[in-house]
Structure 1
Amino acid sequence: MYDGSSTAHLVEALRTALNRYSVGEKLPSSRALVRQYEVSPVTVARAIAALVAEGLVTSRPGAGVFKANRAERGVPGDVSWQEVALSADAGARGVDAAGVLATLTAPPAEVVDLNGGYLHTSLQPERALAAALARAGRRPGAWSRPPVEGLPELRSWFARDIGGSLDGGDVLVTAGGQTALTTALRALAVPGAPVLVESPTYPGLLAVARAAGLRPVPVPVDADGVRTDLLADAFAATRARLFVCQPLFQNPTGTVLAPVRRAEVVRIAHTAGAFVVEDDFARRLVHADAPPLPPPLAADDPDGVVVHVRSLTKVTSPSLRIGALTARGPALERLRATQIVDSFFVPRPLQETALELVGSPAWARHLRTLAVALRDRRTALLGALADLRPQWTPYGGYHLWLRLPDGTDEQAVVAAALREGVAVTPGGSYFTAEAPGPYLRLSYVSTAHPEDGGHRLRRALR
Structure 2
Amino acid sequence: MHESSSVAELVKSLKGELDRYPEHGKLPSSRAMVERFKVSPVTVSRALAQLASEGLVVTRPGAGAFRAEPRTRPPEPGDTSWQEVALSVEGATGAVPRTVDASGVLVCLAAPAPGVIEFNSGYLHASLQPEQAMAAALARAGRRPGAWGRPPTDGLPELREWFARGIGGMITTAEVLVTAGAQSALTTALRAVAPPGAPVLVESPTYPGMLAIARAAGLRPVPVPVDRDGVRTELLEAAFKATGARAFICQPLFQNPTGAVLSAERRPEVLRIAREAGAFVIEDDYVRRLAHEDAGPLPRPLATDDHDGTVIHVCSLTKATSPSLRIGVLAARGPVLERMRAIQIVDSFFVPRPLQEATLELVGSPAWNRHLRQLAAELRKRRDTLTTALARHLPELSLPHIPSGGYHLWLRLPDGTDETALTSAALRAGVAVTPGRPYFSAESPAPHLRVCFAGVSGPGEITEGVRRLRTACDEVLR
Q: TM-score, normalised by structure 1?
A: 0.97
Structure 1 distance, partners of 2:136, 2:42, is 21
In the other structure, the counterpart of 1:41 is 41
| 1:413 and 2:422 aligned | yes
Deviation of the 1:460 alpha carbon: 1.5
In the other structure, the counterpart of 1:238 is 243
Decide whether the 8 Å contact of 2:267 with 2:302 is kept in 1.
yes
Structure 2 distance, partners of 1:168, 1:127, is 29
| 1:193 and 2:198 aligned | yes
In the other structure, the counterpart of 2:103 is 98
Amino acid at match of 1:429: P
Amino acid at match of 1:453: G
Deviation of the 1:103 alpha carbon: 1.1
Decide whether the 8 Å contact of 2:398 with 2:413 is kept in 1.
no
| 1:365 and 2:377 aligned | no
Decide whether the 8 Å contact of 2:88 with 2:97 is kept in 1.
no
Q: TM-score, normalised by structure 2?
A: 0.94
Deviation of the 1:383 alpha carbon: 1.0
Partner of 1:122, secondary structure, is: helix
Seq. identity, %: 67
| 1:453 and 2:462 aligned | no
366-375 or 21-30: which moved more?
21-30
Amino acid at match of 2:217: A
In the other structure, the counterpart of 1:73 is 74
Amino acid at match of 2:111: A
Deviation of the 1:125 alpha carbon: 0.5
Decide whether the 8 Å contact of 1:193 with 1:214 is kept in 2.
yes
1:297-316 paired onto structure 2 within 5 Å: 297-316=302-321
Structure 1 distance, partners of 2:338, 2:454, is 37
Structure 2 distance, partners of 1:458, 1:115, is 16
In the other structure, the counterpart of 1:87 is 88
Deviation of the 1:88 alpha carbon: 2.4
Decide whether the 8 Å contact of 1:320 with 1:350 is kept in 2.
yes
Partner of 2:189, secondary structure, is: helix
Q: Which consecutive aligned stretches of 4+ in structure 1 deviate over 3 angstroms post-superposition?
A: none
In the other structure, the counterpart of 1:334 is 339
> In the TM superposition, what whole-angstrom CA distance separates every residue of 1:287-340 from its partner, at most 9, and x where no partner exists?
001121100000111111100000000000000000000001111101101111
**Which of 394, 404, 427 lines up with 1:395 in the alignment?**
404
Structure 1 distance, partners of 2:472, 2:287, is 30
**Which of 428, 439, 443 lines up with 1:430 in the alignment?**
439
| 1:295 and 2:300 aligned | yes
Amino acid at match of 1:29: S
64-73 or 258-267: which moved more?
64-73
Structure 2 stretches of 5 or more lacking a match?
none
Quickly say closer, same or farther: Cα 1:201–1:5, change in 2 above 3 A: closer
Structure 1 distance, partners of 2:324, 2:156, is 19
Structure 1 distance, partners of 2:42, 2:181, is 32
> In the TM superposition, what whole-angstrom CA distance separates every residue of 1:388-445 from its partner, at most 9, and x where no partner exists?
3412100001111100011110111101111111100000000002201100011111
352-361 or 444-453: which moved more?
444-453
In the other structure, the counterpart of 2:287 is 282
Structure 1 distance, partners of 2:467, 2:35, is 46
Structure 1 stretches of 5 or more lacking a match?
none
Partner of 1:356, secondary structure, is: helix
Deviation of the 1:82 alpha carbon: 2.1
Amino acid at match of 2:109: L
Partner of 2:87, secondary structure, is: helix
Partner of 1:442, secondary structure, is: strand
45-54 or 24-33: which moved more?
24-33
Decide whether the 8 Å contact of 1:385 with 1:455 is kept in 2.
no
Deviation of the 1:353 alpha carbon: 0.8
Partner of 1:440, secondary structure, is: strand
Amino acid at match of 2:463: E
> In the TM superposition, what whole-angstrom CA distance separates every residue of 1:188-223 from its partner, at most 9, and x where no partner exists?
110000000000000000000000111000000011
Partner of 1:89, secondary structure, is: helix
Structure 2 distance, partners of 1:349, 1:103, is 27
1:118-129 paired onto structure 2 within 5 Å: 118-129=123-134
Partner of 1:19, secondary structure, is: helix
Quickly say closer, same or farther: Cα 1:401–1:5, change in 2 above 3 A: closer
1:140-155 paired onto structure 2 within 5 Å: 140-155=145-160
**Which of 253, 257, 265 lines up with 1:260 in the alignment?**
265
Structure 2 distance, partners of 1:168, 1:414, is 45
Quickly say closer, same or farther: Cα 1:461–1:66, change in 2 above 3 A: same
Alpha-carbon RMSD: 1.3
Amino acid at match of 1:254: G
Quickly say closer, same or farther: Cα 1:65–1:440, change in 2 above 3 A: same
1:5-44 paired onto structure 2 within 5 Å: 6-44=6-44
In the other structure, the counterpart of 1:61 is 61
Decide whether the 8 Å contact of 1:150 with 1:346 is kept in 2.
yes
Deviation of the 1:264 alpha carbon: 0.3
Deviation of the 1:58 alpha carbon: 0.4
Decide whether the 8 Å contact of 1:385 with 1:458 is kept in 2.
no
Deviation of the 1:78 alpha carbon: 2.2
Structure 1 distance, partners of 2:236, 2:217, is 22
Deviation of the 1:86 alpha carbon: 2.3
